[in-house]
Structure 1
Amino acid sequence: MSTFVVFDLEFTTWPEALEQDWSAPGQYREIVQIGALRLRHDFSVVEEYEALVHPVMNPHLSPYFTELTGIDQESVDRDGLPPAEALGDFLSFCQGQSVLSYGNDMVVLGENIAWARARGEHIKSSFLTAGFLNVRPWLNTVAPETATSNVGRLWQVFGLPEPTAGREHSALFDCHSFAVALKHLHATGASLPEAFL
């Protein structure tokens, strides 16, 4: 049965970093958490992927990041995978799939792969057979009320039941919010372009 993947990343951030596009000295968008769902075309979940990642260039999380995501330093120090390992595991999860994000998370993914390679680290499955697509422009066009919403709030915008336990800005929760929004749009007649699936 054909499947596709939705994914979300949480990455290092500081106050005003978004507005300044992470341009302040020493600010890099290092991945700290990866969440992904493999979905059937009826939007039912086949498999989940979730990993904490230990950042290298900024190994100490900012209080702003921890407050935003709920991810604390102790958890990352204890459970965080080395970046190359987490990236390779995630890319293996995506092999042969269409991979959808709500935003340009694939750019952040590419930055992190480049940094790991520059450190001389090997990343398995980095020869991609997956197709990464940012579906936010399409989604915001078919549902203009989503234009100012982040991925973790999509379920609220559509008045849907909370998709799972967790919280906004947790990568896996945000993936579930994304998936129920896609399912809702499909059920109400929005056509997902074939290239997405």
Structure 2
Amino acid sequence: MASLVVYDLEFTTWEGAADGDWSLPGQLREIVQIGAVRLDEELTVRDEFEALVKPVVNPRLSPYFVELTGVRQEDVDREGRAPADALGAFFAFCRSEAALSYGNDMAVIGENVGWARARGEVLDRGFLTTPFLNIRPWINTLAPETATVNSGRLWKSLGLPRPTDGAEHSALFDAHSLAAALRRLRADGHALPAGCL
């Protein structure tokens, strides 16, 4: 049975970092949380993946990040995985299937893979076999009301029921929100872009 992965990332940030495109010294987009769901041909959730990741350059989370995501420093310290370990597990979850994000998260993945390799970390699985796709332009075109919202608010902007427990800016919740938006657009008669399934 064909399937695809819908995922979301939370990565280190500071007040104003997004507006400045993380351009200040030390402002790297280090992944802190990965959330993903596997969807079948009917876009029903069949499996979930969630991981906390320990940032290396900025191991102390900014108060802004903690407030935004709800991810606590003590949770990352206790449960966080090394970047290469977490990324390898995520790539294994993807199983070389299409991986869809609401934004250019694949660029952040590429940055983090590069940094891990530069530190000498070994990924037990490569990422070049997984076709990553930014689905945001497609969604925004079909549902213009989504153009100004993040992935965690898609369900709300489309008038859908809350997709799962959790909150916006939690990677797994945001992945569920994106999956709900895909189901809604499919129900409205829109086929997913080529290469998704």
TM category, shorter:
over 0.9
The equivalent residue for 2:45 is 45
The equivalent residue for 2:26 is 26
Are the aligned partners of 1:153 and 1:168 in contact in 2 as well (CA < 8 Å)?
A: yes
The equivalent residue for 1:104 is 104
Question: Residues of 2 paired with 1:118 and 1:163: CA distance?
Answer: 38
How far 1:2 sits from its partner (Å)?
0.7
Question: Residues of 2 paired with 1:153 and 1:135: CA distance?
Answer: 15
Instruction: Output one character per residue of 1:58-80: Cα deviation in whole Å (capped at 9) or x when no partner.
Output: 00000000000000100000000
Question: Residues of 1 paired with 2:139 and 2:96: CA distance?
Answer: 23
Structure 1 counterpart of 2:6, one-letter code: V
1:43-122, aligned counterparts within 5 Å? 43-122=43-122
The equivalent residue for 1:17 is 17
Structure 2 counterpart of 1:95, one-letter code: R
Structure 2 counterpart of 1:40, one-letter code: D
Runs of at least 4 residues off by over 2 Å: none
Q: What residue ranges of structure 1 are gaps of 5+ in the alignment?
A: none
Are the aligned partners of 1:91 and 1:128 in contact in 2 as well (CA < 8 Å)?
A: no
Question: Residues of 2 paired with 1:13 and 1:100: CA distance?
Answer: 22
| 2:175 maps to 1:175 | yes
Structure 2 counterpart of 1:154, one-letter code: L
* Aligned-partner SS, 2:50: strand
Question: Residues of 2 paired with 1:91 and 1:74: CA distance?
Answer: 26
* Aligned-partner SS, 1:194: coil
Question: Residues of 2 paired with 1:96 and 1:151: CA distance?
Answer: 23
In the superposition, relative to structure 1, how do residues 150 and 127 fare at CA in structure 2: closer, same or farther (>3 Å)?
closer
Instruction: Output one character per residue of 1:129-181: Cα deviation in whole Å (capped at 9) or x when no partner.
Output: 21100011111111111100100000000110000000000000000000000
Question: Residues of 1 paired with 2:59 and 2:172: CA distance?
Answer: 22
**Residue-pair matches, total:** 197
Are the aligned partners of 1:54 and 1:83 in contact in 2 as well (CA < 8 Å)?
A: yes
The equivalent residue for 1:2 is 2
Structure 1 counterpart of 2:166, one-letter code: G
Structure 2 counterpart of 1:53, one-letter code: V
How far 1:127 sits from its partner (Å)?
5.0
Structure 2 counterpart of 1:125, one-letter code: R
Q: What residue ranges of structure 2 are gaps of 5+ in the alignment?
A: none
